[in-house]
Amino acid sequence: MEKPVNGRYNGNQANSASWKKKPLLYPLTGNYKQDDMKKRYASIWFPCLLANRKVRQDATLAHTHFVIAAPVHSKMVAKAVSPDAKAKGIRTGMVVADCKTILPELEVFKWEENSEQELLNALGEWCIRFSPVVSIDLPDGLIIETTGCTHLWGGEALYLQDIVQKFSRIGYQVRVAIAGTIGTAWGMARFSPSTFIVPPQQEKSALLSLPPAALRLEAPVLEKLSKLGMHRIDTFINMPGSALRRRFGKTFLQRLHQALGLEPELIEPLQPITPYFIHLPCLEPVRTAKAIEIALHQLLEEICQRLKKEEMGIRACVFTTHRIDGKQQQLAIGTGRPSVNLQHLMKLFEHKLSSIKPGLGIEVFTLEVTQVMPLAPTQDALWHTTITQDDTKLAELLDRIADRVGQQSIKRYLPDEHYWPERSVRLAVSANDSSTAQWPTGLRPLHLLANPVLIEVMVLLPDYPPKSFKYQGKLHTVIKADGPERIEQEWWLQQGQYRDYYCIEDETGARYWIFRFGHYDDIHQPQWFIHGFFA
């Protein structure tokens, strides 16, 4: 994955008169120098934004007819249409009932609120690889300021080709255009018969053959233009501004002037999340263990100070050394709860530092915090107490143990609001995780199986405990039994039979927790399962 461009490259401005002998529009196969340009913008349009994402989530929908619909005035209206359904005449804004009349096999999916905003935000951050200035253009587009960036691709033509290819590779259909104004780029991307590059100062000529909708006008204005027979921009672009304002309103004239570059248009660029990443270069390559320890201490101290101000704590971070021979070595740690305790974090790294081989010398150290969480609020007590302090010390002790034996070796379980035993516990996600549920009362085994195991039993009477059972090929004779304890299913999760649990003891003194699933009658023959083992 390419790194995003972090700066702009401003070329020398050339005389725009050099464009007079060049053709009006350059398709993707053309090219010209970035030095000839002033401010440049690219518009990216996603004709099937939500439909493309749906196919990415479920590949089986790739060649099916479907729409994504939302309720509008008590009717389901199509918000997004798949390319195959669009080819059959289905369009956005149509009522789903009418769509079903045209295409009975049409599948309908529910639209999620703010889905376009969230998706465009994610795609916009992904597009920072093309330019540091990216803005979302609801409901289905992005605007990129390309000034000073396209020469890194060898020109605007190759720049647009790369955008189209990369989006196609991840499953999104796009149409793109570059122009000197946002309005012209927007209109060309959506209404031009192909993907074009508009040379500087040629925005007016590029817009002449496009429909009025290319100026981002409101629906009532477009309807009025259509009634007057103005189906192309060239039918009114040369009219006096006062007449256009009087007839179609101030917004109409503003959009026209913005597309022509006569009025400025500002965009609000996305602000990507600033990574918690710092680096420490060395004046000379270092090779000693003490120097490595000092560098790590300095990096941790700096990042902890920043996190304290933001009231965040480290959950995971990576320390990387960059040797002069180009090799990198990494050390990673994790914590059970967010921490900015410098001494504690140093102890987690302490036993790993000896694994770093400096070779001919290390010239750069970096520290990246890969996971952060808000710090737990603290409160000073009016009397002496050590509960919070003891909790912190316990969490730090568990971090040091987990750092040596592995985080997966330490687990903590909490009660959950379910009746069936295998559902009544859950794994805690952090040291601060808690549950409002209570642990079940009654006799419970020390070792509970994740899934009950089917066993063969011999029962004298239907409601009696078994006299013997076979588990893993071995026959066990039951000496003592206690029960039954009936546990019903949760009807809101699934329907089925109840369980009757028995605590039994065999001839060797081993005790088991078994249950009968259902009851005996003329139709049913219930099954027996073993679910746990007592100490």
- The answer to whether residues 337 and 430 touch, using CB atoms and an 8 Å cutoff, is yes
- Phi and psi at residue 295, in whole multiples of 5°? -65, -45
Rounded CA Rg of the chain? 34
- The answer to whether residues 319 and 367 touch, using CB atoms and an 8 Å cutoff, is yes
Which residues 6+ apart lie within 8 Å of 61 measured at CB?
54, 55, 82, 107
* Spatial distance between the Cα atoms of 296 and 330, rounded to a whole number of angstroms: 12
Which pLDDT score is estimated for 114? 86
Which residues 6+ apart lie within 8 Å of 239 measured at CB?
none
Q: What is the largest CA-CA distance in the chain?
A: 105
Which pLDDT score is estimated for 520? 78
Q: In the beta sheet, which residues pair with residue 70?
A: 77
In the block, tokens 């639209």 appear at: 111
Which pLDDT score is estimated for 404? 72
Side-by-side strand order, sheet with 66-72: 75-81, 66-72, 107-110
* Spatial distance between the Cα atoms of 454 and 363, rounded to a whole number of angstroms: 62
CA 119, chain centre distance (Å): 9
Residue 113, token pair as written in the block: 């609120």
Which pLDDT score is estimated for 81? 92
Task: Specify burial of residue 238 (Cβ count, 10 A radius: 0-12, 13-18, 19+).
Answer: exposed
pLDDT in 10s for each residue of the chain, 535 residues: 333 333 333 333 333 333 333 334 444 443 444 443 488 999 999 999 999 999 998 888 888 899 999 998 888 999 999 999 998 899 988 999 999 989 989 999 999 888 899 999 999 999 988 998 999 999 899 999 999 899 999 999 999 999 999 999 999 999 999 999 999 999 999 998 876 899 988 999 999 999 999 999 999 999 999 999 999 999 999 899 888 888 898 999 999 999 999 999 988 898 877 688 998 999 899 999 999 999 999 999 999 999 999 889 998 899 999 999 989 999 998 887 888 989 889 988 988 899 999 989 999 999 999 988 888 765 444 444 444 445 667 676 777 777 676 666 777 778 887 877 887 888 777 666 777 777 777 788 888 888 899 999 998 887 888 999 999 889 999 999 988 888 888 777 777 788 899 999 999 999 999 999 887 776 677 889 999 999 7
* Spatial distance between the Cα atoms of 29 and 156, rounded to a whole number of angstroms: 10
* Spatial distance between the Cα atoms of 309 and 312, rounded to a whole number of angstroms: 8
* Spatial distance between the Cα atoms of 308 and 284, rounded to a whole number of angstroms: 31
Which pLDDT score is estimated for 34? 41
